[in-house]
Amino acid sequence: MLAQIQNDNNTDQVTMVSLELVDYINDSRKFDEKPVQLRHADFMAKVPKVLGIETSEKFRSSYLAGNGEQRPCYRFPKREACLMAMSYSYELQAQVFDRMTAMEDALKKPALNLDDPAFLRQALLGYTEKVIELEHKVQSLEPKAKGLDRIADCTNVLGIRESAKVLKIGQNQLAQYLIDHKVVYRDQYSKIQAYQKSIDQKLVHVVTSAPRLTESGEKVFTQVKLTQKLITRIAKWLEKGVAA
């Protein structure tokens, strides 16, 4: 399921449907020892308990099922989507927050033809050329300009899910490709972690959340994101017909 962007009184607002939230929750559970799949109906029943009956009614919506039947769902703005995600786990809340923040940033940029893989890959290649040109200019500046390079390294990064969508390949396929090529690995909890050499080579960037209070104390959560350098490299391989 895809998060939706809607226009309300000519005001762009990012929203996320309850079906996608359920997808996020089930995806986060798939590596549990005994994963329990959350049903959309059970999620729907929990919404009034978390947001309150009166508030939850404001976000009632519907979707068209595969059999053509209209079925109920919720469509949440960023705040309520994060509240619902937080009711399951803080890590899930961080993922939903990052996802919707990226969508908000996308609204500020010129529209792209996201249905055309060739267009996306060409755009990535064009971006790479600009980065290379900028790096050459930075190298010719005084040492204090190196700070700009460090700032650039922390921007324009995408999670594995978003990177797979841009590259038009499966998320699991991309994750396995990264593991096979020693870019990332899975730890003892099956969570994807980055090799230090991948960070040093600026292929990935590890995003660390602010400390969050859990039942066992304060914790921070990390997420591996792919840099444009790595995404562009994979796009070139795909352009040449090399399966990722």
65 near 93, Cβ under 8 Å?
no
Domain ranges of the chain: 4-107, 117-239
How confident is the model over 4-41, as pLDDT tens digits? 433 333 346 789 999 999 998 888 887 777 888 899 99
Tell whether the model's pLDDT for residue 128 goes beyond 80: no
- Count other Cβ atoms within 10 Å, centred on residue 82: 19
CA-CA distance, 244 to 175, in Å (whole number)? 10
User: 3-class DSSP state for residue 8?
Assistant: strand
pLDDT grade for 139, boundaries at 50, 70 and 90: low
From the list 68, 72, 230, the residue with the least C-alpha distance to 163 is: 230
Total residue count of the chain as it appears in this document:
244
How confident is the model over 28-75, as pLDDT tens digits? 887 777 888 899 999 999 999 999 999 999 999 998 888 888 999 999
CB-facing half-sphere around the CA of 235: CA atoms within 13 A: 25
Burial of 137 (0-12, 13-18, 19+ CB in 10 A): exposed
Residue 183 gets the label, from left (phi > 0), alpha (psi -120 to 50) or beta, of alpha
CA-CA distance, 119 to 64, in Å (whole number)? 30
CA-CA distance, 121 to 236, in Å (whole number)? 8
CB-facing half-sphere around the CA of 129: CA atoms within 13 A: 7
Residues with Cβ within 8 Å of residue 214, at least 6 apart in sequence = 90
Residues with Cβ within 8 Å of residue 98, at least 6 apart in sequence = 159, 207, 223
Q: Which element (helix H / strand E) includes 223?
A: strand 222-227
Average pLDDT over residues 133-145: 58
Tell whether the model's pLDDT for residue 108 goes beyond 70: yes
pLDDT grade for 149, boundaries at 50, 70 and 90: very low
Burial of 132 (0-12, 13-18, 19+ CB in 10 A): exposed
186 near 199, Cβ under 8 Å?
no
CB-facing half-sphere around the CA of 107: CA atoms within 13 A: 15
**With a threshold of 0.75, does the pTM exceed it?**
no
